[in-house]
Structure 1
Amino acid sequence: MPQYVLVINPGSTSTKLGLFVGKKQVKLVTLAHTTTELAPYATILEQKDFRLQLIHQFLTQQQIALTDLMACVGRGGMMRPIPSGTYAVSSAMLADLRSAKYGEHASNLGAILADAVAKKAGCQAYIVDPVVVDELTPVARLSGEPNWPRRSAFHALNQKAVARQVLAEKGIQYEQADVIVAHLGGGISIGAHQHGRVIDVNNGLDGEGPYSPTRTGHISAMALIDYIYQQQPDKEKLKRMITRQGGLSAYLHSTDVAAAVKKAEAGDQRIALILAGMVYQINKEIAAQASVLQGHVQRIILTGGLAHSQYLTQAITEQISWLAPVTVFPGEIEMQALNAGVQRVSNHETKVKDYQTEAEVLADGRTI
């Protein structure tokens, strides 16, 4: 009887693969891809067969036959905004991902690879809580310019999974709680979770929120306009400045936070100030999300790679613990979260969702 769930999480230079039986993690590997290996492929989509071959090799090495798989689940990519949940991979979803009309990202391959394996295995393919999860309230969408409504794009998979786990350990159901989750990584997203829905969150890809190791966060619109007219950068250069070369990278010419912390602790006052600025802006965003929840915050959760830094989490906690208890949950549990989404459907705790239906309903509701 098929019992394994195959989890596929494609990154820009790696593919993470996992095998689960129920909630138990059987095997987890990260397959690194060199620049030379990826060089022949002009687009992310062209890497499909290369990565698919590695997945089949992984299954062979683990002595897992395709008929042993009960489901395949991939990381969700850039597609139409949808509410959170577990989605069956569909032709409409695959078409949007293949076209890359909503953005080209390695995660676009998640559903495509899961579908390819599932079809051979004769099982269902899923995605869970993609980056485009959109549960914003109507008022949260307003930006001040009608043609530029705010978009929801954040670390939905990890934020929701960590919140579920932390709250479960406290005997609290995620769907009954009001919490703020701060994912602190190369990018930073801070969400207001109200009874299982992220009703507001900063979109770091659009330049919202605190600066981070790679992103500018909020910057002056006038300064940006002046820069564009004076320097006339091309669009891609400007995007890189805001999403890949901003924040600590711009200040320190490095994204190595551990090295920066070490220098700050050794007495480098400039670096200490820059790190303090990031902490300051993180706490401002957390406090802003608390106002969204009308001050009813049961817990603040710090997660992501930067949460491994006691220097940073201690500084954040000291400044914001007056608002609510702070829990530090370092790193991420994306692979476990993808499996958990499948298990919730398998155990009839929730229903599987249809991509096109949910996207169309959400689009109708977003019209202002």
Structure 2
Amino acid sequence: AEPVLVNNEITRAIERLNPLAPLHNPANVLGIRAISKKWPELPQVAVFDTAFHRTLPEHAWRYAVPDELYTNHGIRRYGFHGTSHEYVAHRAAALLDVPVEEFDAVIAHLGNGASVTAIRGGQSIDTSMGFTPLEGLVMGTRSGDLDPSILVFLGRNGWSPEDLDSMLNRQSGLKGLAGNNDMRSVVEAAEAGDAKAAMALAVASYRLAKYIGGYHVAVGGAKALVFTAGIGENSHQFRNLVAQRLGALGVELDAGLNRERSREPRVISTPTSALPVLVVPTDEERAIAEATAAVVAQASVAR
């Protein structure tokens, strides 16, 4: 959905979707209701993180399950982090002096929550998060992809849906593998010889590299690989681990450029790299503020 002015109907709709985004929607609804109560005349705008992914083709958003699960329950791949991916796509295209309508790339948004998106012609055509933000990459506390039969097995052994939800969303990922969901701490532990931390980095970087390779094919040959968000922007160690797994694509990082810290968009690959590798700081707050201003201004004109 496009950004919209919040009313009771929108608030209830967001609340009904709490099971799809259990780490985010409940808190957002509490904030909306609190502001509505204190400042009832103050306009609020909902900017949906799924909106950028509405361009996914059906073959990308479909699950291979009985059709009634989609038609009756809306079970399909939605994708998240859309606000960030859209903002970064525009910034990266500008850095490379390419019209965004001609920008083909793979963007990796790596934070405590992580997702990777295939961009073709400036639009999202595939993304790693699915029905909920749980699908896809190894994250801070989320498992990412796993065999669904594991849940059936655990359910038959006494695990409740609530137990499974908590385990997969809050106790897995880097935390489950290394005991810590902070990438900086995991990298430090791995460099100090902690085998569990090293394995966590190996699993996370391998999973991401597989997605990048697949999305390189999906876009018909990416013209850029872009890292963004907290880990993507700041962890030169993790970027290097991922790049090392992409040798078959001809990706080469410049060690010095990769280690540099900057708040500016920049290229960190060598001149001989088969495709440029960029670090582009995201600014979801700015993107949300701009969308909010546009909706409020439009509503004022309509009145």
TM bucket (normalised to shorter chain) is 0.7 to 0.9
Larger strand fraction of residues = 1
In 1: Cα distance, 2:287 partner to 2:38 partner: 20
In 1: Cα distance, 2:94 partner to 2:38 partner: 33
Whether the 8 Å contact between 1:155 and 1:189 is mirrored in structure 2 is yes
Within the alignment, does 1:89 sit opposite 2:9 as a pair? no
Structure 1 position 138, deviation (Å): 0.9
Write out aligned runs for 1:124-139 (5 A): 125-131=44-50, 134-135=53-54, 136-139=56-59
Within the alignment, does 1:319 sit opposite 2:245 as a pair? yes
Partner of residue 158, structure 1: 84
RMSD: 2.9
CA 157–108 in structure 1, closer or farther in 2 if over 3 Å, else same:
farther
Which letter maps to 2:4?
Y
Write out aligned runs for 1:286-305 (5 A): 286-295=212-221, 297-305=222-230
Write out aligned runs for 1:117-266 (5 A): 120=41, 125-131=44-50, 134-135=53-54, 136-146=56-66, 147=69, 149-203=75-129, 205=132, 207-230=134-157, 232-266=158-192
1:108 to 26, 29, 32: 29
CA 326–109 in structure 1, closer or farther in 2 if over 3 Å, else same:
farther
Structure 1 position 86, deviation (Å): 3.6
- The range that moved more, 276-285 or 219-228, is 219-228
In 2: Cα distance, 1:92 partner to 1:216 partner: 33
Question: Normalising to structure 1: TM-score of the pair?
Answer: 0.62
Whether the 8 Å contact between 2:177 and 2:196 is mirrored in structure 1 is no
Question: Normalising to structure 2: TM-score of the pair?
Answer: 0.74
Could you give the per-residue CA deviations for residues 168-227 of structure 1, whole angstroms, max 9, x where no partner exists? 233333343222211111221111122343221122646421222211111122333222
In 1: Cα distance, 2:10 partner to 2:218 partner: 32
Structure 1 position 344, deviation (Å): 5.9
In 1: Cα distance, 2:34 partner to 2:198 partner: 44
Structure 1 position 280, deviation (Å): 0.6
| Runs of at least 5 residues in structure 2 that lack an aligned partner in the other structure | 19-24, 252-274
Is the partner of 1:181 in helix, strand or coil?
A: strand
CA 341–184 in structure 1, closer or farther in 2 if over 3 Å, else same:
same
In 2: Cα distance, 1:257 partner to 1:185 partner: 9
CA 286–107 in structure 1, closer or farther in 2 if over 3 Å, else same:
farther
1:339 to 286, 289, 292: 289
Structure 1 position 144, deviation (Å): 1.6
Structure 1 position 284, deviation (Å): 0.5
Is the partner of 1:193 in helix, strand or coil?
A: strand
Structure 1 position 90, deviation (Å): 4.6
CA 118–87 in structure 1, closer or farther in 2 if over 3 Å, else same:
farther
In 2: Cα distance, 1:150 partner to 1:322 partner: 34
Partner of residue 258, structure 2: none
How many residue pairs get aligned? The number is 259
Structure 1 position 92, deviation (Å): 3.4
Which letter maps to 1:105?
P
CA 177–189 in structure 1, closer or farther in 2 if over 3 Å, else same:
same
Which letter maps to 1:301?
V
Could you give the per-residue CA deviations for residues 282-330 of structure 1, whole angstroms, max 9, x where no partner exists? 11111222222122x1211111221211110122233336263211235
CA 244–200 in structure 1, closer or farther in 2 if over 3 Å, else same:
same
| Runs of at least 5 residues in structure 1 that lack an aligned partner in the other structure | 1-81, 353-368
